[in-house]
Amino acid sequence: MNYWNKRLTAMTEYVPGEQPDNVDRVIKLNTNESPFPPSKAVLEAIGKEINGNLRFYPDPTAREVRELFAAQNGLTPESCFVANGSDEIFTLLFRGFIEPEGTAAFPYPSYSLYYTMAEMNGIAYEKVGLEKDFSFDLKKFLKRKYQLVILSNPNNPTGTYCDPDEIRRFLEQFRGLLVVDEAYIDFYGGSSVELVREYDNLIVTRSFSKSYSLAGMRIGIAAADPAIIRGFWKLKDSYNVNRLSIAAARAALADAKGFNYNRQMVVNNKEYLEERLTALGFELVPSRSNFILARHTSVQAKELYERLRERGILVRYFDRPVISEYVRISVGAMMHIKTLCGELEAIVGGE
Ligand code: PMP
């Protein structure tokens, strides 16, 4: 018997990148996690929180995290919402912000969870194609009256980016709600978060899963006008972020040194990976993120993905229009990049 409604039965679910059980034995370059552990200060803060107080519920709005994030970004705590991963922000957003008759627009290719969530909630949406070089042309999002636009910036899976001046120009004309998903912004900077103070139809989202090495803790933050933030509080589960995650987020925001060290290492490794891939005959999409979208001039992406997988190296392959020629490779630790490039050399060299 099927008890789910027709919409759910008809939709295809979002398929996250593979999370293998033997995570220590594979080289995992498929879901853009950090190759480095959280800093010592963050691990200690989580450890300290493991005590008898776990019998109490956590702070329902993670006030201390909001205060820290707000102070660092020139905002007020009332304009910040702490979520169980930035994905939770999208879940709530789709539930509450757009009327069923409204239409949303998302770039293509982009983070496919946006499309899935629109479908899940019965919201009509359009995919607006990125340019040939995967750059953004925001004018295309003004062609129709969209109620909601979500831009992943930098964009997953292309790594391309549009700067805050372009976002500002867009906001001067756009009357719907714009969400700028900055899950990957920390690696190269250039955030639009300051625009939140000026535009009450802008939400900027951040994730602790990439630059803060905390994907396993599930922490995200939304910054927006307080009127929008109040909507999130109405919609969320009473205690959406647990005590350990709150402790981790607080410590991560306080530990600028640990954060900058890891961030810089990722950037350095990415630049090395780019050089090696280019030398191996790959064409790269210029990326401002911790992953690279690459295609080889002679070996098909699917074959690359499969042959790397056989060798215990996971990268991401998307069997979808426009991007099926590419693999997306997350920036790993130096040792793993060297192993990857050695294996790639054997594959593209014809061994
Ligand atoms: N936005 C983008 C563009 C992403 O790629 C991801 C990670 N897959 C997320 C949001 C979700 O991040 P989080 O772990 O904070 O839910």
What SS3 state is found at 315?
coil
Whether 184 is in a domain gets the answer yes
What DSSP letter does each residue of 231-288 carry, written as one string?
HHHHHS-TT-S-HHHHHHHHHHHH-HHHHHHHHHHHHHHHHHHHHHHHHTTEEE---S
Same domain, 271 and 244: no
Same domain, 239 and 299: no
Q: Domain boundary at 225, 254, 283, which?
A: 254
Q: Domain boundary at 254, 269, 295, which?
A: 254
**Average of pLDDT values for 184-204?**
97
Whether 3 is in a domain gets the answer no
351 falls in which pLDDT band (50, 70, 90)?
Answer: low
Same domain, 205 and 311: no
Same domain, 295 and 282: yes
CB atoms within 10 A of CB 85: 21
Atom of ligand 1 nearest to the CA of 83: 15
C-alpha 238 – ligand 1 centre gap (Å): 22
pLDDT in tens, 206-243: 999 999 999 999 999 999 999 999 999 999 999 999 99
Q: What is the mean pLDDT of the chain?
A: 95
Residue type for position 344? L
Percent of the chain with pLDDT over 70: 99
**Domain residues for 283?**
16-37+257-348
Same domain, 100 and 213: yes
Closest by alpha carbon to 178, among 107, 278, 72, 275?
107
**Average of pLDDT values for 38-50?**
97
Q: Tell the residue nearest (CA) to atom 5 of ligand 1.
A: 156
Cα distance between residue 149 and residue 168, in whole Å: 14
1 falls in which pLDDT band (50, 70, 90)?
Answer: confident
Looking at residue 14, its pLDDT comes to: 87
Whether 8 is in a domain gets the answer no
Structural domains counted in the chain? 2
350 falls in which pLDDT band (50, 70, 90)?
Answer: low
Same domain, 163 and 292: no
Residues with CB under 6 Å of ligand 1 are 85-87, 111, 152, 156, 181, 183, 207, 209, 215, 220
Q: Domain boundary at 254, 283, 316, which?
A: 254
Same domain, 87 and 219: yes
* Most informative mutation of 111, 153, 203, 218 for ligand 1 (most atoms within 8 A of CB): 111
Same domain, 151 and 166: yes
pLDDT in tens, 7-21: 888 888 888 888 888
C-alpha 350 – ligand 1 centre gap (Å): 36
Looking at residue 283, its pLDDT comes to: 97
Closest by alpha carbon to 65, among 53, 82, 86?
82
C-alpha 327 – ligand 1 centre gap (Å): 18
pLDDT in tens, 150-191: 999 999 999 999 999 999 999 999 999 999 999 999 999 999
- Which domain CATH number covers 343? 3.90.1150.10
For the cut 80, the answer to whether the pLDDT of residue 327 exceeds it is yes
Whether 11 is in a domain gets the answer no
C-alpha 178 – ligand 1 centre gap (Å): 17
C-alpha 298 – ligand 1 centre gap (Å): 31
Residue ranges in 282-351 assigned as alpha helix (H): 301-310, 334-348
pLDDT in tens, 262-315: 999 999 999 999 999 999 999 999 999 999 999 999 999 999 999 999 999 999
pLDDT in tens, 53-76: 999 999 999 999 999 999 999 999
Cα distance between residue 229 and residue 80, in whole Å: 7
